[in-house]
Every structure is written in structure tokens, then in C-alpha cells.
Amino acid sequence: MDRIDAEMIARGDTLNANYYTGLQLRSTAAEMRGRYADALHYTHRASVIQDSLEFYNQREQLNELATVYHLQEERLARQQKESEARTYRIIAVSTMMLLLLTAFILWRVHRDNRLLTEKNRRLYELYHEQEEHEEQVVEDTAGVEAEAQHPTFNAQLYKRLCALMEDPAVFTDPDANHETLARLVGTNYKYVYDALHECAGTTPADFINHYRIRHAAALLTTTDQPVGLIAEECGIASRPTFNRLFREHYSMTPTEYRNVANQTSVTV
């Protein structure tokens, strides 16, 4: 056994279970032979070996735990990098989609504005041609009635009403109504209503508003006054009412009409 011990010590291989077991057996054998000093010596060496083995085992466990922890850290680091990469890809794709959507919206807005401007320009030209035609029809009608030997009462009254509206002070009065027209032409409301209905197919209120809106269109074209102020100058105190009447007459808002008129004048 001493030879074996010497070989193990020479190899540095004393920290193993076999060597520990051998020392315990030696201690037992020495005690049975009454060699208590040798038994105590072997027991002490076995105790040291046992402590060393336990320390070694604990160190191996700690090393294993450290390895596991290191591998876990590497795995978590890889997962974090993969997660960050996915996040960057999502952000990049989302940003690209947002840019494309923004570009599409801007293109649609530009196209719609261009189409709306073109439509308003055609409407502007159409309404001006229509107004010129209406003025010519009124002049022709007045000429025919003047040549007639017995013009009707309604035709004469309608002619007087049209002549009356050449003065903007009449229709720009916010209180102007059917009674105003009747008083200015020296008759009553019923005759005014009948004349407008027969000769123009309209009512006194629409007749007055027609001249107000045409006057507003002229101011929008020739001045830089705010739309609200123009509405008040034309006798319409309510901005929503003015916008509604203007859109009904010209199929566009006052601002759109002004923009188209300015563009048309520049083009011309």
C-alpha cells in the first residue's frame, strides 16, 4: 500500500475516492492490530482527502454552474440581438410603409386639387357664359316688349324690378325683402311675386339673393377683402348662409371661386 501511495502522490492523484477508501481501510486494519497511532494517521489523512474531495466537487459544481450561466447569458444575448434585429426590421418596414402612404396621400391630394381646380375653372367659365346669356336674354326680352304695342303688366313690372336691381344699395340692404321691392316699384307683394314667377320663374327672396351672390362674385374677383366682410357688404350677415347660397349658385365655395378667378385672369 505504501508503494501505491507513493505512486499516487508522485502522479498527484491522491484526490480520488479510491485513495480515500484505501485510507479508511488502512485505518481500520491498523486499529484492529492495535496500531492506534497509524490508525489515527490514516483517519486524519482520509479526513483531509474527504474535505479536499468535497471542495473539489463543490468547485466542479460551481464551474458547471458558471458554464451553464455563461451559456445562458450567450443564449439571452443572441435572443436579444435577434429581438433587436426583428424590431429594427419592423421599424424599417413600418417607416417605409408610412413614407409610401404619405407619398400616396400627397399624390392623391395633389391630383384631387388639380382635378378640383380644373372642374372649378370649367364651372367658372360656364357660369360666366350663362350670365352673359341671361343678360342678353333680358335685353332681348326688354326690346321685344318695348316694340310690342301692349306689353303685359308682369313684363313691365319685371323690367322695372331688373332696372331697380342695377343699384347695389337695393339688394345689399340686409333687410331687403319682397316688401322692399313692392315699395320701391310702387305696388304690392302679390304683383311682385306674380311678375317674378311668370318672367323669371323665381321668388322675391331668390331674386334678391341672386343679385347679392353675383355682386359677391365680382368683389371676390376684384378685391382682396375677406370672404366674411364681402358677405356682410352684400347683405348676408350669416357666413354659413352666404357659403350655402354661393355654392348653390356657382357649385364651389367663395374661396375656390376667388382662386379660380385669379388663375384665370393670370392665364388670360
Q: pLDDT tens digit string along 90-110?
A: 998 888 888 888 888 887 877
Rounded distance between C-alpha atoms, residue 220 and residue 151, angstroms? 38
pLDDT at 180: 94
Least confident of 23-27, 163-167, 190-194: 23-27
Closest by CA position to 164, among listed 205, 207, 223, 107: 207
Q: pLDDT, tens digit, for every residue of 209-235?
A: 999 999 999 999 999 999 999 999 999
pTM: 0.55
SS3 60: helix
What's residue 19's pLDDT? 67
Nine-digit cell string for 205? 327672396
Listed in sequence order, the residues at least 6 apart from 220 whose beta carbon sits closer than 8 Å to its beta carbon are 227, 230, 254, 257, 258, 261
